[in-house]
Structure formats: structure tokens, C-alpha cells
Amino acid sequence: MENSPTRKRPGRARRIARWVLIALCILGLLLAAAWVALRRAYPPERLAAMLADSVTAATGRDFRIDGELTLHLLPRLTIDATQVALANAEWGTEPDMLRARHIGFEIDLRDLLSGIVRIRSVAIEGGELRFESDGSGHYNWRLAAPPGAAGAGAGAGKAVPRISLDRLAATDARISYRQGRDRAAQELHIESLLAESAGDGRSQLTAGLALGAQRWAIEGHTGPLDALLAGAPEWPLDLQATGEGISASLQGSMGTGKHAGALDAKLSLQVSSAKALAPLGAAAATVPLPLEWKTTLTHTPGQWRADAMQLSLAGQRLSGSASLKAAASSPVRLEAELAAPTWKVAGLPPLSAIQARVAFEPGRLQIEPFSFGIAGGQARGQLRVGLPPGAAPRIDLQLSARSMAIEALEAGRAGARLFKGGRANLDAKLAMSGRTAWALAETSTGEALLTARDVGLVGRTASMDRDILARLIDALIPTGQSRDNLVVECAVVRLPLRNGVAAIDRSIAVETRQMAISASGEINLARRTLSLAFRPQVKRGLDLNPGSLVDLLVLHGPLDAPVLSINPRGAVRQAANVGAAAATGGLTLLAPMLRPFSGAPSSCSQAEGKPAAAAAGPAAKAQQPRRRLLPWPKAAPAK
């Protein structure tokens, strides 16, 4: 009975427990021995040196650990370092490109014993990363190891361990960018960032950022962190960013290491709030919204390009391409070619088939040539803007528009309809200086010419409109004449401007089959006043009684509220209309009234500044009736 199984079990259990305890003690001794051996083989100072050598070899910049370094074995080899720094480029404004208050490393022991520094994780707190350009095509993020750097840190002929990274985390870090040594840096605050291997050759990225008052949430995928450290020429990106009233996506690749700065990616940007653009400056916050921009963005040394560009502003679309050149041997220059099928501008009919070539460099903006369709006609020209530092912009404009439908032009004008049919031309060559529309008008010098022909006038009910142009037409039409069948054969408004003042010497004229009307006086854009005298005259040989015409009509006063004064020639109806015409308002005197075609009557030719015979030809000159022109009285001065 003493040898029964029930009596043997307690003794066997004790023996097993004793062997387990012995094995654990041996394992403990082995681990202790390994720890001692590891501490002797890889003390913190040596590990720090190995890391420094690896990073220096990979970047070509000195890597330092200026603070304390501590090492822990379990559960994984960890190294905590304080005051870590990576040196800046020699020309940088600060000694270090990267500084961190604290960095924690987790390192794979097995790979480390094989001579490979595999960093399982890096955690950064309080980091500062400074990106800089010297303004001459050099960038401090272009990291390249100098010749022989592979052995520089560990002694000649000694290989530097290869370094890899699986996970990167950062909190309370700041990234700044400075374009040129004398410019202020722009700063991005990284509240949190996590990049770790996704197991499929990519890294998962999530981040929370702040740029000024704008906060961003970013997520997506990038290439492996190992490739980033190795200086891969193409590091994949697939990122989405969202903020308050703004979202963006970037898909493509960027260069790293000696290829840093290279970029080839598709960019999509949507903005629905002006607050989102406020960090870019006051001018950016005035951009029409919503905004949508899609393009293929590339960057090579000295140049940015945006190709296949699609831009939408408040529902209006532009397409084209643009490039920004910043070579060391030349100033920054932006060039763009833009096109739009349609575009709406307040007060004008829709523009169509827009084409423009834009060039900008410090101190100068050029839009030449540009062209667009308007009111069934075609316009083209050029615009040059000088931007002297600390002074108002200087503008030179040349514009030529042909065969515009007057009814379409009138559609953007307030008040009752006045015209039907007819085509108009516009020519302008002006030089101006100023920061506002009125400042430009006050300094305008050059000439503007509007001409038209075969323009019909609508019914007399339009004369009850408060528009000053309707009142002017109604006052000049003789008694009993029907407006329905009245056709303006030609109309001319030529403004020879000098410092915002146009001296009118019969350079405003209108002719119908029965009569001719010319004006003289002054339009002063600087004082915002006008003073014009109109005189109608009967064409000889036609059945129109000169007694039914006003002798003289004077229009004077502020541009936005001029007053009509009429000297009637014995016409009761005219006198009645004077009272109604006195209550006028609106600035429409300079509405579309524009250029005659060949064979224009002499008054229009004179208004254009052409001799009548030259415009109408010898045959027309012989047929033109002789007109008795009375002396021009002085127009009433503006009050």
C-alpha cells in the first residue's frame, strides 16, 4: 500500500516545483548576466553615440543629446533623452534646425545585437522644427551626407549601423518656416501627431494642428518611415485635412533627403468661410466664396507649377495653369494662363470666352493680352500695374471692344428701358494711379471713346423715369415727335482726360435723321461734377420746325445728381417738361453712346476728332447740308 500512486504524487510535485525554481534562478542569473553584458557592451553613452552616428550619417548634420540619457531593459529596451538637437544648415538663422525637450526611444534588442538600430517607437515632446530658405534657392531641409560621412562618426573604415523607425509620436511641437533671412517666420503648432506602420508598406498618419486661429485635423497614409529616413526620392502621400470652413486633400509623392522639396501631387481645396483664409492676410479674406481649387501641383528646384487647374469662385469657374519661379539668379515671378467660359460682373452683361495671360513679379503685375466676349461683341486689351513700395499702384489700361449689343449693355443699367437695337464700340487708353476707384478716376489721363449707330428709342413713357438720361432725351426731342420710330443714326462720347478732367468741345454728339445734337463743357472726375451745354439743330431740307426745339439745355452739378436747366424756344410742352426734369437723379449721362461706322454724319465725325470729309468721303461731303452754327454760350458753373 505504501507504493500506491496516491502516495507518490506529493513527492513528484515537490520535485517539479524544485526544478522550476532552479530553472527560474538560472534564467534570472542569465538575464542578470545579459543585463550586465549589455550595460558593458551598450552603455547609455555608447547607445547615444550610435544613434548620433546613424542620424548624422543619414542627414549630414550633427545630432546631439545635450541633456540626460537613461536606459531601461524591461519590458523593452527604452532610452529617454532630454535636450536633443539636430544642427541647422551653415547659413541658417539659428544653430539648430531641430530641438526637442524630451525624446523617448524604444529599440529592438535582437536587431541591435545584429548591428541594426531598429527604433520601434519615438515619442517627442516640446519639439521645434525650423524650415528656412536663404532666398537664393537654398533650403535647410535638403539633408545630404557629405563624402565619407559613413565612417566619420565611428572611425575610419567602421560601418555605421542602419537605422529604421516603426512609430513616431509628437505632442506640443512647433514647425516654423522663414522665406529669406529678413522675413518673419510663419509657425504651425502640432498639438498631436502619430505616424505608425500600417503593415502594408504604408504608414498611418493622424494629427491635430493649429495655424494661427485655424485648427486642422489630418488623417491618411504616407510611405514607410524607413523610406523617409533613407532619403527616398518619392515618398507617397494620401492625406485629408479638415478645418473650420475649409477642407483639403493631397495625393501623390514628395522627395526626401537630398531630394527634399520635390513634390508631385493632386491637390483639392474647398473653402466655405472667410475665417479660414484670414491667416493668409486681409486680401485673401475678401476672396469670393465658396472657393474650390483642384490642380496637379509640382515642385522642382526654383519652381512651383499648378497644371490642369480648375478654380471655382462663388460658382464661377476658371481653368488654366500657373507657375511660380524663385531661382537664385532672378526675382520671384508668377505666370499664369487662365480661361473661363463665362463670368458675371455686377453692372455688366455676362462675360464669355475669357482668356488672360498673367505675370507678376515684385513691383509689377501684367495682364496681357486678355480677351472676352461681352454683349455679343468681342473685347481685348492689356493691363499693366506698377506696385512701387509704399506708394499707390500705377495702372496703364488699353481696351478695345467691338460690336456690342446696346440692349444687352442696357440690361445692367437701373431704370426703365430706353434703347432698342444698335451696336456699340469702345476704345480706351488710360493711365491712372490710386488705391480706390475714385482715386483712379481722379488721376486718369488719356482718352476714352464710346460710339454707336442705328439705336432705336423706346416709347415716351420712359420720360417719366427719374433717370437723368431719360430726362435729357425727352427734353431734346421736339414737340409732337414720336419716340417709337426715332432712330439715333450715330452717337459719340469722347472724353479726353487729363488728371481726371475732360474738357468737352463738341466731343459728345448725337444725330438722328432730322437733327444733330452736340455738347460742350467739362466733366470733372476729381471734383465729381459736370457742366455741359447741349444744343440741338435741325438738318436742312427736312420737315421739322426749328421752333419746336429747345434753344439750349444745360446739365450741371454733382455727377450723382446733376440738374437740367432748359431755355425753351416758345414751346409750352417743353416748359412743362422742365419742371419734371428738375427732379432728376442717377449718374447715367455717360451710359453706352458710341462709335459710328463709315459714312458717319459730320457732327459725330467732329466728336470723334475726325474731319467730316475724311470720315464720310468726298461724295458724302458734297451732299451734306450746310448748317448755321450759333456761338456756344458758356455752360452754367457747377455749384
- DSSP state string for 485-522: T-EEEEEEEEEEEETTEEEEEEEEEEEESSEEEEEEEE
Per-residue pLDDT at 414: 65
Closest CA to 557 of 591, 592, 593, 581: 581
Residue 529 C-alpha from the chain's centroid: 36
The answer, as to whether pTM is greater than 0.75, is no
Burial 352-376 (b: 16+ CB within 10 A, else e): eebebebebeeeebbbeebebbbbe
Where is average pLDDT lowest: 259-263, 324-328, 463-467, 589-593? 589-593
189-198 own/partner pairs: CB under 8 Å, 24+ apart: 190/127, 193/168, 193/169, 194/167, 194/168, 194/169, 195/167, 195/168, 195/169, 195/222, 195/225, 196/166, 196/167, 196/168, 197/166, 197/167, 197/224, 197/225
Residue 574 has a CB neighbour count (10 Å cut-off) of: 24
Greater pLDDT, 46 or 210: 210
- Determine the pLDDT at residue 301: 77
Question: 45-59 b/e with 16+ CB inside 10 Å = b?
Answer: eebbebbbbbbbbbb
- Please tell me the least confidently modeled range out of 347-361, 375-389, 476-490, 521-535: 476-490
Say if residue 407's pLDDT is above 80. Answer: yes
Alpha carbon 223 to chain centroid, angstroms = 31
Q: What is the pLDDT of residue 68?
A: 79
Q: Distance of CA 628 to CAs 94, 516, 536, 539, Å?
A: 85, 12, 12, 10
Query: Which is nearest to 484 in space by CA: 420, 405, 545, 577?
Result: 420
CA-CA distance, 373 to 367, in Å (whole number)? 17
Q: Answer yes or no: are the C-beta atoms of 452 and 488 closer than 8 Å.
A: yes
| Dihedrals phi, psi of 82, to nearest 5 degrees | -120, 155
Rounded mean pLDDT of the chain? Answer: 77
Taking CB atoms within 8 Å and a gap of at least 24, the contacts of 364-373 are: 372/343
Using DSSP's 3-state secondary structure scheme, residue 85 falls into strand
Question: Rounded to the nearest 10 degrees, what angle do helices 468-476 and 572-582 cross at?
Answer: 170
Cβ–Cβ < 8 Å for 495, 447:
yes
CA of residue 589 relative to chain centroid, distance: 36
| Confidence class for position 362, pLDDT limits 50, 70, 90 | confident
Band of residue 80 on the pLDDT scale cut at 50, 70, 90: confident
**Least confidently predicted of 275-279, 422-426, 507-511, 545-549:** 545-549
CA distance 251 to 241: 12
The CA-to-CA distance between both ends of the chain, in Å, stands at 139
Q: How would DSSP label each residue in 244-274?
A: TTEEEEEEEEE--GGGTT-EEEEEEEEE--G
Strand partners, 545: none
pLDDT score, position 442: 93
Partners of 372 in the β-ladder: 379
> In this predicted structure, what is the pLDDT of residue 263?
92
Q: Above pLDDT 90, what percent of the chain?
A: 35
Q: Give the pLDDT of residue 208.
A: 96
Separation CA 523–CA 494 (nearest Å): 11
Return d(Cα 362, Cα 496) in angstroms, integer. Answer: 32
Whether 176 contacts 190, CB under 8 Å: no
Evaluate if residue 461 carries a pLDDT over 50. Answer: no
pLDDT of residue 571: 35
How would residue 19 be classed by pLDDT, with cut points 50, 70 and 90?
low
Beta bridge mates, 445: 431
pLDDT digits (tens, 9 = 90+) for 389-404: 889 999 999 999 999 9
Q: How many CB atoms lie within 10 A of CB 553?
A: 25
C-beta of residue 476 within 8 angstroms of C-beta of residue 596: no
Write out the DSSP string of 14-66.
Answer: HHHHHHHHHHHHHHHHHHHHHHHHHHHHS-HHHHHHHHHHHHHHHHSS-EEE-
CA–CA separation, 307 vs 322, rounded Å?
A: 7
Report pLDDT digits (tens) over 139-193: 787 765 544 444 444 444 445 556 778 899 999 999 888 877 767 777 889 999 9
Range among 36-50, 358-372, 464-478 with highest mean pLDDT value: 358-372
Using one digit for the tens of pLDDT, what is the confidence trace for 314-323?
A: 889 999 999 9
Share of the chain residues as helix, strand and coil, in percent rounded to the nearest 5: 20, 45, 30
In this structure, of 151-165, 227-241, 342-356, 381-395, the range with the lowest mean pLDDT score is 151-165
Rounded Cα gap, residues 249 and 297, in angstroms:
12
